[in-house]
Amino acid sequence: MAMEIDGYIAIGKIVNTQGHRGELRIIPTTDFPERFKTMNRVHVNQNGQLAVLEVEKAYPHKSFFILKFRGIDKMNAAETLKGCYLLIPKEELMPLPDNTFYIFDIIGLKVFTTDGRCLGEITDVQQTGANDIYLIDRESQTPLMVPALKQVVLEVDLAAGKMIVELPAGLED
């Protein structure tokens, strides 16, 4: 779910203030929202300026996380951050299990069949609940929707920027 912004990874979006003491309501955009409880600092891109904010307090509240940053003690100051994303450097990403990837790593991969035919490039990943769907741009044709299943996706090589798939019968028709 995390997305890449200017070399940083967005892990949450500030959507509103919480109370009048400078707390902010965050929608997590990470699969690891528990990270907010132990974070000491986070980057915020506000009007093109990257700033580092120290986390003073963090706690879950309904489907949000509430964060309080050091030095932001009033609702008016907190309101200036509404709409900003919370960012971390890539080095601070949570490690993933083998053969699982972040969406921003998958987007842009060239997709090939087992016989070497290039199908196109992954332009989006749709999260359906059951399994992800990779949208492959095929230039002059409609996008191809490929299920992210082990029997379909045979290899992902991030270093080479490619994915090898074995399409189920009739998928390209």
Q: Per-residue pLDDT tens, the chain, 173 aa: give them.
A: 556 667 789 999 999 999 999 999 999 988 889 999 999 999 998 887 889 999 999 999 999 999 999 999 999 999 999 999 999 998 888 888 888 888 889 999 999 999 999 999 999 999 887 889 999 998 878 899 999 999 999 999 999 999 999 998 888 76
Residue listed under structure tokens 């044709």: 141
Q: What architecture is the 103-165 domain classified under in CATH?
A: Roll (2.30)
Q: How far apart are CA 98 and CA 82, in angstroms?
A: 36
Considering the domain delimited by 3-92, tell me its CATH architecture: Beta Barrel (2.40)
Give the single-character DSSP code of 33: G
Which residue is listed with tokens 């509430």?
66
Q: What is the pLDDT of residue 30?
A: 87
Residue 142 and residue 165: Cα distance in Å, rounded?
Answer: 18
Portions of the chain given CATH number 2.40.30.60? 3-92
Q: Could you tell me how many residues make up the chain?
A: 173
- 1 contacts 103 by C-beta, under 8 angstroms: yes
